[in-house]
Amino acid sequence: MEREVPGNCPICQSKIKVSEVRCKECKTVIKGEFELCKFCRLSENQKYFLEAFIKNRGNIKEIEKDLGISYPTVRNKLDEVISVLGYQADKPVIDKKAILEKLKNGEISKDEALNLLKS
């Protein structure tokens, strides 16, 4: 059973550094201090979300359906991934008219509309 290198220390949550890399075939060992990639620092849930995001080509409606979550939850999860990768998530400008139009067309529930208007 293969396991992934944890991106953060399970005790203090600090970044992990890898000090040895070994080839399974020829048994070559490389020692040093290696950084993990940004994506290694994502939690399992964040990786799952990112996989769904990519699979659905970033289409929020499809991600909602695929994961069974609401629009605000998709946005929050995306902002979380953006933050872990070291970027700053810009707060989206709320288009009240578009939200009300979606509500009118039955695309979102009144609770989702309220959450969107509050965010």
* Neighbouring-strand partners of residue 17: 35
The total of other beta-carbon atoms located within 10 Å of residue 11's CB is 6
- Please, is 1 exposed, middle or buried when counting C-beta atoms within 10 Å of its C-beta (0-12, 13-18, 19+)? exposed
Q: How many Å apart are CA 50 and CA 63, to the nearest integer?
A: 10
**What's the one-letter identity of residue 101?**
E
Judge whether residue 6 has pLDDT over 90: no
Nearest in space to 107 (alpha carbons), one of 65, 74, 73, 76? 65
The total of other beta-carbon atoms located within 10 Å of residue 51's CB is 11
Percent of the chain with pLDDT over 70: 95
The total of other beta-carbon atoms located within 10 Å of residue 103's CB is 17
What are the residue ranges of helices labelled H in the chain? 44-55, 60-67, 71-84, 96-104, 110-118
pLDDT tens per residue, range 46-60: 999 999 999 999 999
**φ/ψ (deg, to 5) at 20:** -150, 135
91 pLDDT band, cuts 50/70/90, is low
